[in-house]
A and B are shown apart, each in its own frame.
Chain A
Amino acid sequence: MPIIAHIFSSDRIFSNSMQDFSVALTIRPRDGNCLRAFSLALSRAHALSIITLPGVALSPCPARGERVKVQVLQENLQRGLGIVGRAVATRATLPITANVLLKTDGGRLMLAATDLDISISTWVGARVDEEGATTVPSRLIGDFVAQLPPQPVDLHIPDRGRQVKISCARNESTMSAMDAEDFPRIQEISEGTAITLDAKALRRAIERVEFAAASDDSRPVLTGVQLKTDGQRLTMAAADGFRLAVADITLAKAPEQAIEVIVPARAFRELSRLVADSNEDVEMRVNAQRTQVRFALTDTEMVAQLIQGTFPNYNQLIPSEYNTRATIAVDEFKREVRIAAIFARDGSGIIRLQLQPGEGPTGQLTISARADEVGDNEGKVDVKLEGDPSKIAFNSRYLQDVLGILNGEVALEMTSPSAQGVFRPVGETDYVHVVMPMFVQW
């Protein structure tokens, strides 16, 4: 039986010494059966020869480029793309990081994306006819899948080719792919120290700390959140040079070894989103070299590069004494600050707080702001005042940020107009927030 070799994909891999290259061949006999693709090392001289290989068993051959077929429900695919999409590089220096990796993995489809700082992987249920992997532009496939009807989606993944074919219901499309081999490797962290975190407690701590991290990277350690364990206590701290937030979580079980690492604040923001409403536990594991951390949920995991460096010793920045302490209802305080912020917008964001004694233990907090050519504003709130009357000016954003994550009552402690203002939720000992004031002419 005559067999005609058909050169189908010719990704050349030059070996160093021989100048040989391998060619993927599909051998297609006339009867519609064919050999599986395989690679052969040929010398250049034989590159275009027609090769006859007798005695090889034939098997049914899929149409060109349809090597792998994976079927996945549109809802699952869309959800998975949404999860990993957060890790896709926005300004990709390495073009493939704008892509999402699709890879069969033990009867499921794994989706992964990375911007080299963090990577997110998630697994969705799928019917896998054959193993394979590819990468496609995240934005393209995300937008596309979002519009498909809620029906099974077939992915035809070529193992070397440049096109992925996707069909769903009566819609068919092809997308340019990049080779999965070129996708940055996502580290598997299975060793090292681990702790188990309660999702709700984790989310709450992240919410109360993460915003205080620096957004500019002039001091890289400040763009992260420090995590430090002491027995069963996990302390999370972030500071941007002007404010400091510290939250404690009690762990169900102390880790075998104490952990002290700096996790990028961005990783925590994304983690908070991944945890969202779920109540499942999150396993956090730091690799032995202390360069990476993995947060694992049931079907999703995130790996982040740890920030190297020394986090400032912040304990000395939290004053243990005060001359003035005011206990204030957060709702009222927040409302007056929001109003003052409108006026502060045009005046360097300065909000002035003045604490004056009233009758008995009650006192009055005056919240004011003024803007040169706009106008001024003053609001008053009753407070419980201990200690001396005082005044202090804060940046309106810092004040709004801290009030935004608090409820009930807050205690504001201070020693002077140019020293730290300390915010503590009343009745809770697991959180403290320190804000440096603004130096203003009173």
Chain B
Amino acid sequence: MSTNTLATVLHVDLDAFFVSMELLRQPELYGKPVAVGWSGNRGVISTCTYEARAFGVHSAMPSSQAKRLCPGLIFLEPDFGYYQAASDKFHAILRDFTPVVEPAGADEAYMDVRGSERIHGSPREIAASLRSRIRQEIGITASVGVSVNKLVSKVASDAGKPDGLVVVESGEEAAFLAPRPIRELPGVGPKTSESLARLGVHTIGDLAHMPLGALEARFGRHGAGLRRRALGEFDDPVHSGHGAARSISRETTFDTDEANAARMHAIIWGQAERVAADLARQGRAGRTVTLKLRFPPFETLTRSATPGHGLERSEEIAVAAIALFERAWNANGRRPVRLVGVSVTNLQARGRQLALGEQPGRDELDQGIRELRGRFGEGIIVRGAELPARDSLP
């Protein structure tokens, strides 16, 4: 994997996506602290306006806490179907500039515009024109970071928020990152930043200047990777969904490291359902399920199973993934987890083996659920097990 020496990687992120979409159709709320989420006792904030952020409210915060911080906060229930249409339009705009687009969620994506300069201009010009197209065609703003790799571009787009464009020229990565707080470095969560603070590291530059030995003493073999990130070095290229997908995956990074088994099972269920829905849309099945686990800070492991028949239904994927999770988690002392993800690979034609005495009714049920979700959004129908105890719907 050769490191890009030209700043052609863009990270494009829609500003406060859900809430911006709500403001579009309720303009009277402009300038007010607004949050999309569930206002119930156990609800969480999904996104909020910059006005709400000024009060310290942020996404994934429990609604009760948000209300304490910002008593005038206006709650809006999410309308996923509405957001999905905008998200599809957003990704389509990006693909007008290059086929090398790697979606990283409904409201963000990485793209590598190398080779598109002749047609669309320099990366900076491309960033500017896609920002204006998003504003015109969707009606909301986007922030863009441009650099040699995904890591630095991500930090750059965050630095430009809201409605900003930040270009980090090739060779300037470490200098750009250096003054920024350590917490802005992707992969450094609250726990890692706490550990780093104890070592006297407060900025990304502090981390870059730490002796490797000290980092390795504290973070083991991940110490070196941490320092490389601080220097703005990152090898993973932009993965375009070129041709037929080779794998379908979902992953979730926890804001605070998670050690609750029931909660993680529910998350895996949810991921399996979304993976199964993607498989169905593409008319494919997977042969291999892979579970990805990350322990803080970057200790990542993957475990796979190939049960010998095609996997299509969410239950099959979830059951296999949860079994893998339990085995891997037990083997690691059931430590708190930073990230969990499910993917299926070895994709093949769809065709489900029926069980003895079974009617193909379950396939029809799955089909019905997919149609509902397609029309009304992901949230329209949710498996009971997926509702977490802590942040359940009101």
Interface residues of A (CB under 8 A from B): 216, 239, 241-244, 312, 314, 316-317, 346-350, 370-372, 393, 395, 418, 420, 434, 436-441
Dominant secondary structure at the A interface: loop
Residues of B within 8 Å of A370, CB to CB, are 349
Q: Specify the chain B residue showing the minimal Cβ separation from A398.
A: B353
Q: Given A395-B309, A441-B283, does the pair A348, B351 have CB atoms closer than 8 Å?
A: yes
Interface stretch, picked from B99-107, B155-163, B180-188, B354-362, is B354-362
Interface residues of B (CB under 8 A from A): 244, 283, 285, 307, 309-310, 348-360, 363
A393 to B349, CA, bound (A): 13
A339 to B309, CA, bound (A): 20
Shortest C-beta distance, B359 to chain A (Å), equals: 7
From B244, B350, B358, B359, A440 is in contact (CB under 8 Å) with B350
Residues of A within 8 Å of B356, CB to CB, are 239, 241-244, 312, 314, 317, 420, 434, 436
Shortest C-beta distance, A113 to chain B (Å), equals: 30
Shortest C-beta distance, A240 to chain B (Å), equals: 9
A436 touches B349 (CB 8 A): no
Q: Given A418-B360, A436-B358, does the pair A441, B350 have CB atoms closer than 8 Å?
A: yes
Shortest C-beta distance, A401 to chain B (Å), equals: 13
From A316, A372, A438, A441, B354 is in contact (CB under 8 Å) with A438
B283 touches A438 (CB 8 A): no
B349 touches A371 (CB 8 A): yes
Residues of B within 8 Å of A346, CB to CB, are 348
Shortest C-beta distance, B117 to chain A (Å), equals: 33
A317 to B355, CA, bound (A): 11
Shortest C-beta distance, A381 to chain B (Å), equals: 22
A241 to B358, CA, bound (A): 10
Shortest C-beta distance, A398 to chain B (Å), equals: 8
Shortest C-beta distance, A349 to chain B (Å), equals: 8
A349 to B350, CA, bound (A): 10
A242 touches B354 (CB 8 A): yes
Residues of B within 8 Å of A316, CB to CB, are 357
Residues of B within 8 Å of A418, CB to CB, are 354, 359-360
Residues of B within 8 Å of A436, CB to CB, are 353-356, 358
A441 to B351, CA, bound (A): 7
Residues of A within 8 Å of B358, CB to CB, are 436
B310 touches A348 (CB 8 A): yes
B359 touches A438 (CB 8 A): no
A439 touches B349 (CB 8 A): no
Q: Specify the chain B residue showing the minimal Cβ separation from A215.
A: B308
Q: Specify the chain B residue showing the minimal Cβ separation from A347.
A: B349
What are 14 A-B pairs at a CB distance below 8 A?
A: A216-B307, A241-B356, A242-B355, A347-B349, A348-B310, A349-B351, A372-B244, A395-B309, A395-B353, A418-B354, A434-B356, A439-B351, A439-B352, A440-B352
B352 touches A347 (CB 8 A): no
A441 to B350, CA, bound (A): 8
A242 to B359, CA, bound (A): 12
Q: Knowing that A241-B355, A312-B356, A350-B349 are A-B contacts, what are 10 other residue pairs whose CB atoms are under 8 Å apart, sorted by A's residue number?
A: A239-B356, A242-B353, A348-B310, A348-B348, A349-B310, A418-B360, A420-B356, A434-B356, A436-B355, A439-B352
Q: Specify the chain B residue showing the minimal Cβ separation from A435.
A: B356
Q: Specify the chain A residue showing the minimal Cβ separation from B364.
A: A439
From A216, A347, A348, A439, B360 is in contact (CB under 8 Å) with A439
A437 to B357, CA, bound (A): 11
Which of A242, A244, A348, A437 has most chain B Cβ within 10 Å?
A: A348
Residues of B within 8 Å of A350, CB to CB, are 349, 351
B351 touches A438 (CB 8 A): yes
B355 touches A440 (CB 8 A): no
Q: Specify the chain B residue showing the minimal Cβ separation from A216.
A: B307
Task: Report the 4 A-B pairs with minimum CB-CB distance, sorted nearest first.
Answer: A440-B351, A350-B351, A436-B354, A347-B349
A437 to B363, CA, bound (A): 14
